[in-house]
């Protein structure tokens, strides 16, 4: 199996690149942000609880997203592999993911990090907010909060996979096809 983590701050281009990776490698896309937004749409209790935090740009509890990923891994036992997008976002989530995959004698193949500076992220997210309809893309304060959450809680996840020798950084600014080319190189080397 190819199990890829696409890593990076909000607005780094994970969604855009995920689509291209899925098309090329036939992977199952697991975005915890998308899964949470589906729960909100469905009006579930979990969705209602998550929405309060998401609307403030704060991470939802680890147990919530770990449970969702657990269910999806069970659902897709015959997959060629997975692309994890927006997950793991804390070291606790990383440890849980490694344990869940180990149950199936699987592991993370590689983490590819898209590197984009904070000014560019803010500009991209404000622009995305014009059309995304996402409440958390609408104002500068909220976007800054999300980038702060990333810097405080999520950055250490990169070190976690670096220690396992699985971390590759790719410049996330520039032509989408060129960035995709760099990602495919990292995957081939994994
Ligand atoms: P995203 O679509 O990945 O930008 O996620 C949108 C929001 O959903 C985040 O700001 C968090 O509130 C929540 N969220 C998504 N994935 C996670 C995760 N792995 N851990 C905690 N919160 C998450």
User: How distant, in Å, are the alpha carbons of 118, 143, 185 from that of 140?
Assistant: 12, 5, 35
Q: Would the annotation count 13 as a binding residue?
A: yes
Q: Which CATH number fits domain 2-27+79-117+156-189: 3.40.50.300, 3.40.50.720, 3.40.640.10, 3.10.310.30?
A: 3.40.50.300
Taking only the tens place, the pLDDT of each residue in 43-78 is: 999 999 999 999 999 999 999 999 999 999 999 999
Contact 4, 109 (CB under 8 A): yes
What six digits make up the tokens of 39?
A: 């729960």
Pocket test for ligand 1, best of 34, 36, 136 (most atoms within 8 A of CB): 36
- pLDDT confidence tier of residue 1, bands split at 50, 70 and 90: very high
Instruction: Find out whether the beta carbon of 124 lies less than 6 Å from any atom of ligand 1.
Output: no
Buried b vs exposed e over 94-131: b needs ≥16 C-beta within 10 Å?
bebbbebbeeeeeebbbbbbbebeeeebbebbeebbee
Q: Is 89 annotated as a binding residue?
A: yes
The pLDDT score that the predictor gives to residue 175 is 98
Task: Please report the atom of ligand 1 found closest to the CA of residue 85.
Answer: 3
186 CB near ligand 1 (under 6 Å): no
Q: How far is the CA of 85 from the centre of ligand 1 (A)?
A: 10
Strand order in the sheet with 81-85: 28-31, 81-85, 2-7, 110-115, 167-171
User: What single DSSP character describes residue 66?
Assistant: H
pLDDT band at 2 (very low <50, low <70, confident <90, very high): very high
Long-range contacts of 98-105 (CB under 8 A, 24+ apart): 100/66, 100/69, 100/70, 100/73, 101/3, 101/73, 104/73, 104/77
pLDDT confidence bin for 143, thresholds 50/70/90: very high
Atom of ligand 1 nearest to the CA of 58: 12
Q: pLDDT value at position 101?
A: 98
Q: Could you tell me how far CA 89 lies from the centroid of its own chain?
A: 7
Does the beta carbon of 8 lie inside 6 Å of ligand 1? no
pLDDT one-digit tens code per residue, 77-107: 999 999 999 999 999 999 999 999 999 999 9
65: its two tokens: 């997203």
What percent of the residues of the chain are helix, what percent strand, and what percent coil, each to the nearest 5? 60, 15, 25
The pTM of this model reads 0.96
Q: Where in the chain are the domains? A: 2-27+79-117+156-189
């Amino acid at each position: 199996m190819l199990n890829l983590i696409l890593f990076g701050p909000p607005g780094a281009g994970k969604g855009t690149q995920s689509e291209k990776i899925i098309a090329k490698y036939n992977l199952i896309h697991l975005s915890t942000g998308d899964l949470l937004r589906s729960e909100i749409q469905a009006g579930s209790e979990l969705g209602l609880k998550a929405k309060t935090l998401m609307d403030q740009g704060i991470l939802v509890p680890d147990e919530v997203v770990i449970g969702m990923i657990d269910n999806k891994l069970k659902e897709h036992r015959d997959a060629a592999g997975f692309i994890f997008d927006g997950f793991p976002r804390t070291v606790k989530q990383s440890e849980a993911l490694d344990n869940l995959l180990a149950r199936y004698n699987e592991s993370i193949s590689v983490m590819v990090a898209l590197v984009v500076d904070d000014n560019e992220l803010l500009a991209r997210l404000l622009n995305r907010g014009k059309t995304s309809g996402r409440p958390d893309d609408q104002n500068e304060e909220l976007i800054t909060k999300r980038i702060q959450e990333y810097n405080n809680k999520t950055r250490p996840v990169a070190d976690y996979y670096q220690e396992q020798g699985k971390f590759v950084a790719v410049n996330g600014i520039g032509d989408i096809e060129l960035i995709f080319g760099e990602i495919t190189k990292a995957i081939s080397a994994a």
